[in-house]
Chains A and B, each alone.
Chain A
Amino acid sequence: MIHHLLLLLICVLAGITFPAPAQTKVGIAPPRDVDRSARKVEQSWKALLNVKPEQNLLNRPASEALGEIDKSERMVQVYLSQKKIYYSLISRSIGAYAAGLAAETDEDPGAARKSVGEALDHVVQREQSLRKQMAAIEEKAATDPRSALVRSVLRSQLQALEKIQAETRKQLTALDSASQQSHEAARQRIAAAAALGQCAEILARITETIDLEGEDWAHYHGQLRSLVKTYSVNSQLSPPPGKTALQEELDALIPPKDPK
């Protein structure tokens, strides 16, 4: 009794320590991981929405503008890294399913069809032999009661053979159709695997561009910093020479103040 309990305990412990996968066919990423990742993307997106460094970029103190740019850069990097995980989980899940699908097979009853075809030939041979036996006894059966009895037995055998033949033909037709359907099913499976595989590849490529996007964002933020250093209101650097078109337009609208 104690031995059985010990064995049970070992099995339970093994089950707890190494739980078996619940659904191995769906894909590598269980849905809850994707959902959790999607929530993180949303959180980082909402945080990023509150940062708008471009608004009044050059009309506020440089330190404030630079601070906003730094914040934007940090938020963008967090957002992109979360997005990369999210996209990666989706593309891998679909890719794994496509690969699994491609590696599957569709059962084809080719060998069975051949064997049943041979079996049908054997049934047909026996039927022909039985018909010959009946033909041989036919004349005698008209006068001899024993031969008539044999003929009736042969007839019942023939009926059985005819039905067997009909069933075998039915099986052969079903196997022919099954073989065609198997090939069609394989065609559909391969097409599905190809389409889903291409889909996963596109998603993977988009995921790969996130790193480049990060570099572009970093460059962009660097350019924003340069703009601030060049044109901001408190910038130590000299403003650009001459008036801009907008300034000239404003000057025309507002008359200059009397120096007196």
Chain B
Amino acid sequence: MNRLLKYIFTTVAALCFAFSLTAQQTEGSGPADSQKNNAPEVRVAPTSDLYTDEVRKARQLHSQWNGLDDELDQARNGALLTDPAIYKRLRAQIDTVLASKRVEIDAWREYYQKSADYWQSTLKSLQSGQPARNTERQDINNMLIVEKRDRDDLQRRLTDLVKTLAEKGVTGEQPAVTDLKKLFALKEDNVAKLDQALHLFDSGVQHLDKRRELARSRSLETRQLLRSVDVERPLWEALYSGKAHRLDLDFDVTIPKPEPPPNWRDKITPRVTGGTQ
């Protein structure tokens, strides 16, 4: 019974999801809608901080690190340099501060990664849209050709009409001739408007080209920022390693030598002797 309910729920969810996709796809493209030729309402969005949450997180982590580092300095300055317990506590504090810095660096990395992805996707979208823009330009050019062709045909019709009227000896401007002239003027107007539309389209595409170059540059710069954060990481590690070293010096701690690797003889002796020793 539960399984059946699960399937019904899954089916309904899948159909709802697919339906919402279709609704988005067909929105505004219905037959009634296609008759409307009004230009769409343009809402202009300027620049914005898209990843404020990520920046806020990184900033909070930075404040946290800053506080911990200050605490470490204060604790170290007032510490009794002979107490091994204090030494241990300060070493642990150094580790905590470094860990805090690492988390902060990760947060910055996450932010820069998102920013880099954003600009990469903007660049891709602008690049992939280029063929569509070329096709649209060709479409406007085709409209211009159609209007010019209509105009030429009207000219032909006018010539034929004037000729036939002259042959018949009809004098004075006939309403039919006036109508043709009106239509001819409309075509002339349309040709001029399409020339202007083509000019505007080219200008728009030029702006898009500039934006594409800026997106490319931003994408590269954000990747450089990512690399810079990666460069920073070992430098902080070195800084805190220095702090730990200084602490060792202050407490006169002998740094223990690393343990030597186990002797291979010790390892194989039990096997050779059959473990009887």
A interface residues with partner B (beta carbon < 8 Å):
3, 6-7, 10-11, 14-15, 17-21, 23-29, 31, 34, 38, 41, 45, 48-49, 52, 54-59, 83, 85-99, 101-112, 115, 118-119, 122, 126, 129, 146, 149-150, 153-154, 156-157, 160-161, 163-164, 167-168, 170-171, 174-175, 177-178, 181-186, 188-209, 212-213, 216-217, 219-220, 223-224, 226-227, 231, 240, 243-247
Q: Could you give 17 example pairs across A and B, Cβ below 8 Å?
A: A3-B3, A24-B24, A57-B161, A58-B168, A83-B146, A90-B143, A98-B39, A118-B59, A157-B243, A160-B242, A181-B214, A188-B211, A189-B207, A190-B46, A209-B190, A223-B174, A246-B169
Asked if B235 and A167 sit within 8 Å, CB to CB, the answer is yes
Given A24-B25, A105-B45, A191-B207, 11 other A-B residues pairs in contact with their CB atoms under 8 A: A19-B22, A56-B164, A88-B35, A111-B52, A160-B236, A160-B239, A174-B224, A192-B207, A202-B196, A227-B170, A247-B169
A26 to B35, CA, bound (A): 20
Residue from B22, B136, B210, B243 in contact with A188 in the complex, judged by beta carbons closer than 8 Å: B210
Asked if B50 and A153 sit within 8 Å, CB to CB, the answer is no
Residues of B within 8 A of A247 (CB): 169
Give the Cβ gap from B189 to chain A, nearest Cβ, in Å.
8
List the 5 shortest-distance A-B pairs measured between CB atoms, nearest first.
A244-B169, A195-B204, A192-B207, A54-B160, A18-B18
A146 to B252, CA, bound (A): 10
Asked if B164 and A58 sit within 8 Å, CB to CB, the answer is yes
Identify the stretch in B79-87, B180-188, B258-266, B268-276 within 8 Å (CB) of chain A at 4 or more residues: B180-188
Is B89 on the interface with A (CB-CB < 8 A)?
no
Q: Most A CB atoms within 10 A — which of B24, B28, B214?
A: B214
Give the Cβ gap from B88 to chain A, nearest Cβ, in Å.
20
Residue from B7, B52, B218, B236 in contact with A185 in the complex, judged by beta carbons closer than 8 Å: B218
Residues of A within 8 A of B41 (CB): 99
A26-B132, A160-B242 as given contacts; A54 in contact with B164, CB under 8 Å: yes
Give the Cβ gap from B248 to chain A, nearest Cβ, in Å.
9
- Which residues 179-236 of B have a CB within 8 angstroms of A? 179-180, 182-183, 186, 190, 193-194, 196-198, 200-201, 203-205, 207-208, 210-211, 214-215, 217-218, 221-222, 224-225, 228-229, 231-232, 235-236
Nearest B residue (CB) for A205: B193
Nearest B residue (CB) for A170: B228
Asked if A107 and B47 sit within 8 Å, CB to CB, the answer is yes
Residue from A18, A29, A107, A164 in contact with B51 in the complex, judged by beta carbons closer than 8 Å: A107
Number of A-B contacts (CB under 8 A): 332
A109 to B46, CA, bound (A): 13
B interface residues with partner A (beta carbon < 8 Å):
3, 7, 10-11, 14-15, 17-19, 21-22, 24-25, 28-29, 34-35, 37-52, 55-56, 58-59, 62, 66, 69, 73, 111, 115, 118-119, 122, 125, 128-129, 132, 135-136, 139-140, 142-143, 146-147, 149, 153, 157-158, 160-161, 164-171, 174-176, 179-180, 182-183, 186, 190, 193-194, 196-198, 200-201, 203-205, 207-208, 210-211, 214-215, 217-218, 221-222, 224-225, 228-229, 231-232, 235-236, 238-239, 242-243, 245-246, 249-250
**B interface majority secondary structure:** helix
Residue from A3, A167, A181 in contact with B218 in the complex, judged by beta carbons closer than 8 Å: A181
